[in-house]
């Protein structure tokens, strides 16, 4: 089991210097990864201050040398795949091969897409996600890409340099369990970053559901290569309590614990409580 910290890209964390200091604290405290949200407005009525996640991750990369970094998750349909491929490759080069790419449909669709006149049909967004992921994989190969698809067209383009990691940056795909289609999509890549309808952001999922999800993904994997399953919540700092919470999830097949604050509690985007938990270090038993 590996351990990451999950923070939004708004509020206190819209500032690149703050994110750099958080990343440094996480690395020094023994965490294995730092993951940021990728939102433009999230719920636009809240009128929050946001930072661009790839610029924030650049600051984190320059301040650290070991921890994994990524956006959890990036709505591929909201970005142009060639620009996204370039951003991820640049960050992977800069960090010495420490990027994990998290991809999903994105939400809330009305605020994040509709507000800007972008498509809001979830079928179309799913098509753009699948086509976009395929293009990212091909761009990261360094080979010339020709593509004439439903949503994207590419005419003989090779994007160099490639990421440090080969054959590509690891791709984790998000989706809600028990929805099957996102899990089948994730099974084609390197990991799954599931949310659970039975457990909101910041709440640990039921062990039985994690076990069912892992079994379903394994059924749809084409090979037995390593595959990451990322679950998360708010963990206790008491070692015995942490073991009781997280060890059964690891036994069910989870490979990462992602530390997250409850989405419905105050302080979600405040530095002090999150930094305090980071400095206490990852769950130990």
Q: Give me the pLDDT at residue 7, please.
A: 97
Q: Measured at the alpha carbon of residue 197, what is the angle toward residues 242 and 11, in degrees to the nearest 5?
A: 70
DSSP assignment letter at 11: G
CA atoms within 13 A on the CB side of 277: 22
Q: How far is CA 170 from CA 79, 135, 206, in A?
A: 19, 14, 26
Q: Which residues contact 131 (CB under 8 A, 6 or more apart)?
A: 81, 149, 150, 151, 152
Residue 132 pLDDT > 90 = yes
Q: Give me the pLDDT at residue 264, please.
A: 85
Residue among 258, 129, 260 nearest 186 (CA):
129
Q: Is the pTM of this model over 0.95?
A: yes
Residue among 136, 137, 138, 156 nearest 146 (CA):
156
Q: How far is CA 181 from CA 118, 175, 185, 220, in A?
A: 23, 8, 6, 11
CA atoms of 139 and 127, how far apart (whole Å): 18
One DSSP character per residue, 37-91 reads ---SSSSGGG---B--HHHHHHHHHHH-SSSEEEETTEEGGGS-HHHHHHHHHHH
Instruction: Report the greatest alpha carbon distance in the chain.
Output: 57
- Provide the token pair at 181: 């289609």
- Provide the token pair at 201: 């952001």
User: In percent, how much of the chain has pLDDT > 70?
Assistant: 100
Can you tell me the mean pLDDT for 118-142?
97
- Provide the token pair at 202: 């910041």
Cβ atoms of residues 195 and 232 within 8 Å:
no
201-233: pLDDT as tens digits: 889 999 999 999 999 999 999 999 999 999 999
Q: Give me the pLDDT at residue 267, please.
A: 81
């Amino acid at each position: 089991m590996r351990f990451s910290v999950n923070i939004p890209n708004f509020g206190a964390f819209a500032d690149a210097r703050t994110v750099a200091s958080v990343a440094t604290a996480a690395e020094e405290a023994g965490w294995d990864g730092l993951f940021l949200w990728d939102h433009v407005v999230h719920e636009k009525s809240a009128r929050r201050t946001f930072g661009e996640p790839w610029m924030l991750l650049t600051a984190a990369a320059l301040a650290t040398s070991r921890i994994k970094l990524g956006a959890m998750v990036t709505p591929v349909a909201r970005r142009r795949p060639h620009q996204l491929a370039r951003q991820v490759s640049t960050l992977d080069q800069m960090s010495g091969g420490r990027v994990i790419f998290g991809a999903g449909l994105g939400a809330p669709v009305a605020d994040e897409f509709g507000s800007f006149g972008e498509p809001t049909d979830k079928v179309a967004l799913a098509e753009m996600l699948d086509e976009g992921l395929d293009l990212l994989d091909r761009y990261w190969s360094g080979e010339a890409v020709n593509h004439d698809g439903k949503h994207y067209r590419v005419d003989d383009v090779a994007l160099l340099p490639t990421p440090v990691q080969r054959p590509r940056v690891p791709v984790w795909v998000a989706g809600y369990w028990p929805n099957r289609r996102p899990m089948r999509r994730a099974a084609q890549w390197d990991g799954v970053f599931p949310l659970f309808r039975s457990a909101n952001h910041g709440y640990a999922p039921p062990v039985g559901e994690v076990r069912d999800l892992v079994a379903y993904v394994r059924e749809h994997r084409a090979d037995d290569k390593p595959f990451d399953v990322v679950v998360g919540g708010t963990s206790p700092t008491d070692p015995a309590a942490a073991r009781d919470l997280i060890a059964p999830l690891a036994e069910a097949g989870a490979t990462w614990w992602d530390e997250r604050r409850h989405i419905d509690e105050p302080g979600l985007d405040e530095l002090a409580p999150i930094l305090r938990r980071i400095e206490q270090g990852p769950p130990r038993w």
